[in-house]
């Protein structure tokens, strides 16, 4: 009887086996570095655990709370990304028949997406406050195109079509995983043509040595914000600034969606409140007066009499 029971049992699988499977499935994905970092974390905190022994509390109690080294507190959204990784690990294990079910792990509530943008004067002050020439160029390009940091820093000359005035964001770089054209305005074309004459490598933006840059110079950016008296602002907010300027100047949301490479119109609706011009044509539809009460009597004195009359009516109604 004991042997029969043992034969019916599934072999116990460990978290290490599931993490390896997760990385194998993730090969070639653009966020593989992030997944490797998450895998290393979960391997450390759950070392030696069998998958069947993991509970909801095991996941929740082991979610990281602070950055390694700096001990800076992690945001709810960052914690949710770690949660997403381990849930994907367990989901793959479940599909493989290694566990009977996946424990339920609720997401941390996240604050609403903030939209922080600069006026054109503030933007110019920021650019002027940067010390590094290549940082001035990168930030200016972000303000003029709305491109994301990775899209800018990975841009190569062979991806730029000066005649068609576009740059190609390849699928391995695009956040959506789909290649898209990045329209280039006339001012961007002028900047790029000047850089083309001085190019030293295939990369458009670099520190001067032609080598690929993995991220912006955070210290130069931080100091520039301080000099320009700009608070609560991140590099990605340059993209928000670009989008906000577009909406304020009348660019339709569907057009902005295509320009910025957003997958969903919901992501673009965060900017809708910046332009109410499309509502003005409907503002008078529900007018109370058939003709404007201000102009109905013609003279300024008569208009003043109208206001007196309206005030008296209010007094009587009380």
List 13, 43, 94, 175, catalytic entry: 175
| Rg of the chain in Å (alpha carbons) | 29
Concerning whether 218 is annotated as a catalytic residue, the answer is: no
Please report, for residues 221, 239, 251, 268, the alpha-carbon distance to residue 147 in angstroms, rounded to integers and kept in the order given: 17, 7, 17, 15
List 35, 239, 246, 257, catalytic entry: 239
Asked if 80 contacts 107 with a C-beta cutoff of 8 angstroms, the reply is yes
List 42, 117, 245, 271, catalytic entry: 271
Residues 6+ apart with CB under 8 A from 296: 289, 306
Concerning whether 175 is annotated as a catalytic residue, the answer is: yes
Concerning whether 82 is annotated as a catalytic residue, the answer is: no
C-alpha to C-alpha distance for 84 and 39, rounded to whole angstroms: 11
List 148, 180, 206, 257, catalytic entry: 148
Concerning whether 236 is annotated as a catalytic residue, the answer is: yes
Active site residues per annotation: 148, 175, 236, 239, 262, 271
């Amino acid at each position: 009887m004991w042997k029969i029971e043992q034969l019916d049992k599934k072999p116990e699988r460990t978290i290490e086996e599931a993490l390896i499977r997760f990385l194998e499935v993730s090969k070639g994905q653009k966020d593989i570095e992030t997944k490797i970092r998450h895998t290393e974390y979960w391997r450390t905190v759950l070392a030696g655990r069998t998958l069947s022994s993991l509970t909801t509390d095991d996941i929740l109690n082991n979610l990281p709370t602070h950055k390694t080294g700096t001990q800076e507190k992690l945001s709810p959204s960052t914690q949710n990304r770690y949660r997403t990784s381990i849930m994907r690990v367990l989901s793959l294990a479940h599909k493989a028949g290694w566990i009977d079910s996946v424990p339920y792990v609720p997401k941390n509530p996240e604050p609403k997406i903030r939209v922080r943008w600069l006026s054109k004067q503030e933007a110019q002050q920021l650019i002027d406050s940067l010390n590094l020439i290549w940082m001035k160029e990168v930030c200016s390009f972000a303000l003029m195109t709305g491109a994301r940091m990775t899209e800018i820093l990975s841009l190569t000359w062979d991806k730029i079509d000066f005649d068609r005035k576009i740059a190609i964001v390849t699928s391995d770089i695009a956040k959506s995983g789909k290649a898209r054209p990045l329209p280039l305005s006339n001012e961007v074309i002028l900047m790029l043509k000047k850089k083309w004459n001085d190019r030293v490598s295939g990369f458009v933006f670099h520190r001067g040595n032609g080598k690929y840059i993995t991220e912006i110079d955070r210290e130069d950016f931080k100091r520039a914000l301080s000099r320009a008296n700009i608070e609560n602002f991140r590099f990605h907010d340059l993209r928000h600034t670009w989008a906000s300027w577009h909406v304020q100047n009348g660019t339709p949301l569907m057009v902005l969606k295509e320009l910025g490479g957003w997958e969903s119109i919901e992501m673009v609706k965060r900017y809708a409140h910046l332009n109410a011009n499309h509502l003005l044509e409907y503002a008078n539809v529900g007018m109370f007066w058939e003709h404007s009460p201000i102009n109905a009597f013609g003279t300024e004195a008569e208009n003043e009499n109208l206001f007196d009359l309206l005030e008296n009516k209010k007094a009587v109604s009380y």
